Amino acid sequence: MRLNSYIIYLAVMLSIAACKSVRNSSSSIKKPTNNSVKKKTPQKREFINGIEVTLGATTKTNHQSSSSATGFTKKIDEPFIGKSEKEKAHFLQLKYAVYVEVPTNKLKNIELLELIDKWWGTKYCIGGSTEKCIDCSAFTQILQREIFYTTLPRTSQEQFKESRRVELEDLQEGDLVFFGSGRSISHVGVYLQNNKFVHASTSQGVTITDLNDKYWKPRFVGGGRLRLF
């Protein structure tokens, strides 16, 4: 009996001693302190135009790229200067070939097309001579001066008197076409090609019309060409 009690006592003491040794060994492990760990802060580098980039991070910016670097723009733009003019001329030929109903290669007077395009749709008003509104004789006066370098009187009646008659089948680009009743002229336009003329219409403004139009055909008086003195 005494022997069993002694064995039990010895086992308890050994167990207590083992627990103390484990506790001491665990306490010997040092926990990291806040001071021992160095927090790495991301480095920032600043570039031109105020764009800030953080290494290891995704950066969003509202900056828009520009191609205005010296020498770069010129190398790209210069070859397109001549080409854009050709493209513009080709576009005008395509556009007005539809109105005149001729092949594009028939429309060779690009300056004339440019002027028509500039004034296209400008509304009609009696006595007007600006891009806000214009009447028929002011339009023919401007067109003849800027494209054919000729000077016309201000009114359609005066322009009729100052020009020599041209038959319908002999009309050429730049000739005048007059409308009215008898020798009383109330409207004037400029002949183009293929029976078409450009004019400042009271209803449509500056436009292109066919001489066979049901409104204009019965009012056609004749064609005119500036007299050579």
Annotated active-site positions, please? Answer: 136, 187, 199
Per the structure block, which two tokens stand in for 33?
A: 């302190």
CA 86 remoteness from chain centre: 17
- Torsion, CA 69, CA 75, CA 78, CA 80, rounded to 10: -100
Per the structure block, which two tokens stand in for 7?
A: 């064995």
β-strand partners of 226: 163
Query: Are residues 225 and 189 in contact, defined by beta-carbon separation less than 8 angstroms?
Result: no
Three-state SS for 142-159 is HHHHHHCCCCCCCCHHHH
Query: Are residues 206 and 200 in contact, defined by beta-carbon separation less than 8 angstroms?
Result: yes
| Helix pair angle (72-100, 110-119), 10° resolution | 80
Which stretches within 108-182 are classed as H helix? 110-119, 136-147, 156-161
Q: Which distant-in-sequence residues (6+ apart) come within 8 Å of 122 by Cβ?
A: 131, 132, 133, 134, 200, 205, 206
Using only the alpha carbons of the chain, give its radius of gyration: 46
